[in-house]
Amino acid sequence: MKTLYGGILCLALMLGAGKSMADNKVSFEALPPIENFQINNSKMISSGLPNEAHFSVFKTQGVTTVIDLIPGDRAVEQSMVSDLGLEYHNIQVEWENPTVENFKAYVALMNTARSQPGIVLTHCRKNWRGAVFTYLYRLTQLNQSEAVARQDLDAIWQPNDTWLAFIEKVKAHYQAG
């Protein structure tokens, strides 16, 4: 059932991405099932925890940069991603204590990646951190509408109080700055 749901969600997201993904001739049809995969725009995707097969498909579809938001020792993933020739970055985002500094580091990485060819994959374990970070980036850096960006966030999860407070702190920081 979970695989069926993931496949339906993936298909719906691909269809919803429509023109931008078709224009770039990018297709994630060969992607093995992965939790909470989402196409954010033609240069950004996010997902739950990928494995080597996922990274291989991501590479064939134009992913050049991976931003991992999971804390702890990430050496195995870093090696796996680097061996595929992809750029790897890890931002240690603690589940109970995401910080504006975490998000500022993300913005710096995304801004650098945006100026280069390729797609950026943002991921964590379930794409809950990732969905919040991509939502906030689209809002604060790409100036997308709240309604459009929030729809994608809500499709992944409903942030808890810790993450709602984090969202408000980041919004306040970028409105004041």
- Going residue by residue through the chain, which has 177 residues, state the pLDDT in tens, using 9 for 90 and above: 444 334 433 433 333 333 333 334 577 888 999 999 999 999 999 999 999 999 999 999 999 999 999 999 999 999 999 999 999 999 999 999 999 999 999 999 999 999 999 999 999 999 999 999 999 999 999 999 999 999 999 999 999 999 999 999 999 999 976
Identify the CATH number of the domain in which residue 24 sits: 3.90.190.10
Classify residue 36 by its DSSP letter.
T
Which structural domain range is residue 164 located in?
Answer: 2-176
pLDDT of residue 30: 87
What does the pLDDT read at residue 8?
35
Instruction: Pick the closest to residue 141 from 18, 19, 43 (CA basis).
Output: 43
Count of domains for the chain: 1
Contact 43, 120 (CB under 8 A): yes
What pLDDT score was predicted for residue 10? Answer: 42
Entry pTM = 0.85
